[in-house]
Amino acid sequence: MHEISFPGLGIGEFTVKSEAFSLFGRSVAWYGIIITVGIICAYLYACRRGKRSEGIDPDVMTDLTFFTVIFGIIGARLYYVLFKLEEYKTFYDVIAIWNGGLAIYGGIIAGALTILIFCKIRRQNVLKFTDAVAPGVMIAQAIGRWGNFMNAEAHGGETEIFCRMGIRDALGEVHYYHPTFFYESLWNVIGFVLINLFYKKKKFNGEICLAYFAWYGFGRMFIEGLRTDSLYLGGTGIRISQLVGAVCFVAGTVLILVFRRIGGRFALTRLTAPVAVGAPAEKAEEKEEKEEETPAKEEKAPENGEENKGENNG
């Protein structure tokens, strides 16, 4: 149990429990339940957005989600473990995700690779899928951060800011921290709303995904600097998530600016009308290829006399 308060917001002390309930002798944490709710919301959004804006069959999106969730969780765990190898002595320690230890960037990297491979095998436009999925990831992150709240974790350093979060420690003393879990959740909600408003104005396939990376990276770059539980690059004082956030922001912004000027020249990024749901991917690709081709100028057939003249010369 955790005793939490937000005195600056007029919210007195209240109790939250990390454990939601027990099932067959094992505790089920609120963290896992909240993360699951976030994944479901992301899936429902991706299905709706994919069908309406990108012509993606919801059944295909369901297949993709199945693999993305599995490999995303594995990636999030491996990313966390790799930067804290000294704390994991056995294989059981590595796979025991119920004891905590997931990193969102690992999940995003593994999820992106899964989408890439899935679309390659199923002959789908990978950029359309990433556009449909990216805003859903934002809402999943916004919801998932409240799992950190239930564990009274992922907070920042001590502060007296108006929205400070008070946590009573084992000795009965209350310390006030930056509620960084809330900062990131709010940042993702704002980004989700703005990107959805922007969606219809996208100029090339992949722009929504890049906007997600730029927006999330910019926010995480600053929020991570306030946290006390960051992963660091080796023995340096460089926070991994802060560095990755900065790279995502710069790369996402630059690529958006570049492809807004030249994106239409590439078949993969070129916008086309959404393909009817259920239409074979091959036909969609053939349509894009035909649009790309320019009909060659037909040569005028030589007249018989000219042809004979040419043949007799020499």
User: pLDDT higher for 279 or 66?
Assistant: 66
Which of 56, 60, 64 lies closest to 275 in space, CA to CA?
A: 56
Residue 154 within any structural domain of the chain: yes
Total domain count, the chain: 1
Query: Does residue 260 fall inside a structural domain?
Result: no
- Grade residue 277 by pLDDT with cuts at 50, 70 and 90: low
Cα dihedral 129, 134, 135, 136 sign: positive
pLDDT tens-digit readout, 188-218: 999 999 999 999 999 999 999 999 999 999 9
Residues 143-162, mean pLDDT to the nearest whole number: 94
Return the residue matching tokens 């297949």.
63
Position 275 scores a pLDDT of 53
* 314 has pLDDT over 60: no
Orientation angle between helical segments 207-223 and 240-262, nearest 10 degrees: 150
Is 306 part of a structural domain of the chain? Answer: no
Residue 310 belongs to some domain of the structure: no
Contact in structure between 211 and 192 (CB atoms under 8 Å): no
Is the predicted pLDDT of residue 95 greater than 60, yes or no? Answer: yes
pLDDT attached to residue 289: 47
- Structural domain boundaries, residue 65: 2-203
Mean pLDDT value of segment 73-87: 87
Does residue 87 fall inside a structural domain?
yes
User: Residue 156 falls within a domain, yes or no?
Assistant: yes
Q: Please say whether the beta carbons of 224 and 230 come within 8 A.
A: yes
SS3 state of residue 46: helix
Express each pLDDT in 114-139 by its tens digit.
999 999 999 999 999 999 999 999 99
pLDDT band at 94 (very low <50, low <70, confident <90, very high): confident
223 has which bridge partners?
none
Q: Is residue 173 part of a domain?
A: yes
pLDDT of residue 196: 95
Is the residue at 216 inside a domain? Answer: no
Task: Write down the pTM of the prediction.
Answer: 0.82
Q: Is the pLDDT of residue 276 over 70?
A: no
* Of 313 and 9, more confident: 9
β-partners of residue 26 are: 23
Q: Which residue has the tokens 């919210």?
A: 11
Question: What is the full DSSP assignment across 178-226?
Answer: --HHHHHHHHHHHHHHHHHHHGGG--STTHHHHHHHHHHHHHHHHHGGG
Least confident of 128-137, 175-184, 216-225, 293-302: 293-302
Report how far residue 278's alpha carbon sits from residue 60's, in angstroms, rounded to the nearest whole number. 9
Per-residue pLDDT for 176 more than 70?
yes
Q: What is the mean pLDDT of residues 53-57?
A: 94
What distance in Å separates the CA atoms of residue 311 and residue 314, rounded to the nearest whole number?
A: 8
Lowest pLDDT segment from 64-73, 227-236, 254-263, 267-276: 267-276
Please answer whether residues 104 and 141 qualify as being in contact, where contact means their C-beta atoms are separated by less than 8 angstroms.
yes
